[in-house]
Amino acid sequence: MGRLPTTTHRSNRQEIDQFIDELRQTPALVTGNSGRLLFALDATASRQPTWDQASHLQSEMFSTASTVGNLQIQLCYFRGYREFQHSRWLNDSRQLLQQMNQVRCAAGHTQIARVMQHAIHETRQKPVQAVVFIGDSMEETLDHLCQLAGQLGLLNTPVFLFQEGTDPVTYHAMQQIARLSGGAHLQFDQRSADQLKALLNAVAIYATGGKKALEHYAQNHEKSVLRLTQQLK
């Protein structure tokens, strides 16, 4: 498994609490035990060391969400020269993991706008309860990204952005996208990988069963998860 860089900023308790508080304020969008979650990844060259980590995390999300209902996940990624790919909607973690294992990162610019454009298209066909994006940079026009984030906000499709590293331009952009879409933003590094996993699981549970399912999940799992999610009540 790839290792997360050790030179990046460690997410502190204030950042974690702020993320959870923002998730708490996001309206519960699911009625029933099913949900759709778009799992988007930056697959440019800088992300190769952590691609295996992302593969493992999405499998964790599947297994966690399956305890309360049916979670469908669509994998999206960009890499190279304007290459953007997405899977079909899947409810089998093994199939999605197989697809992720076939991907190799390639040098190129970020295409976060295409991720959000695709999310808008998908949720207009059938509601998408949450978008998760994991990346480490932003090389696009912020005004355009904010416009797309606002559209997702109007569609009640929050974007939860997990930033690897401390690039300030990326930090500002992801904060704006999270605010306008009704989602949240969090930085992470190797030392906060367990917290990242817990938060991703929380988003998956939330997308599948809403606030009540998340509260139940927190009460029946390890104390670290309970501490991270107690503000969701």
Sequence ranges of the domains in the chain: 36-232
Structure tokens at 152: 């997702």
Structure tokens at 162: 């997990």
Q: What is the DSSP letter of 90?
A: B
Query: Which tens digits make up the pLDDT trace of 118-168?
Result: 999 999 999 998 899 989 999 999 999 999 999 999 999 989 888 888 899
Mean pLDDT in the chain? 76
pLDDT of residue 193: 63
The answer for residues whose C-beta is within 8 angstroms of residue 94's C-beta and 6 or more apart is: none
Structure tokens at 182: 């009704």
Query: Which tens digits make up the pLDDT trace of 6-21?
Result: 333 444 556 555 655 5
Q: Distance between CA 65 and CA 62 in Å, rounded? A: 5
**40 has pLDDT over 80:** yes
pLDDT of residue 86: 93
pLDDT of residue 27: 52
The number of CA neighbours under 13 Å toward the Cβ of 146 is: 9
- Under 8 Å between Cβ of 182 and 196: no
The answer for residues whose C-beta is within 8 angstroms of residue 222's C-beta and 6 or more apart is: none
**225 has pLDDT over 50:** no
- Kindly report the pTM of this predicted structure: 0.78
Q: Distance between CA 13 and CA 21 in Å, rounded? A: 12
- Sheet-wide strand order for 70-79: 83-86, 70-79, 34-42, 130-135, 159-164, 184-188
Closest CA to 179 of 1, 26, 60: 26
The answer for residues whose C-beta is within 8 angstroms of residue 82's C-beta and 6 or more apart is: 108, 111
Among 56-60, 108-112, 125-129, 200-204, name the one with the lowest average pLDDT.
Answer: 56-60
Place of tokens 């090389």: 139
**99 has pLDDT over 80:** no
Query: Which tens digits make up the pLDDT trace of 200-217?
Result: 777 787 788 776 776 676
pLDDT average, residue stretch 89-106? 79
pLDDT of residue 220: 63
Query: Which tens digits make up the pLDDT trace of 174-192?
Result: 999 999 998 888 887 666 6
CATH among 3.40.50.1360, 3.40.190.290, 3.50.50.60, 3.40.50.410 for 36-232: 3.40.50.410
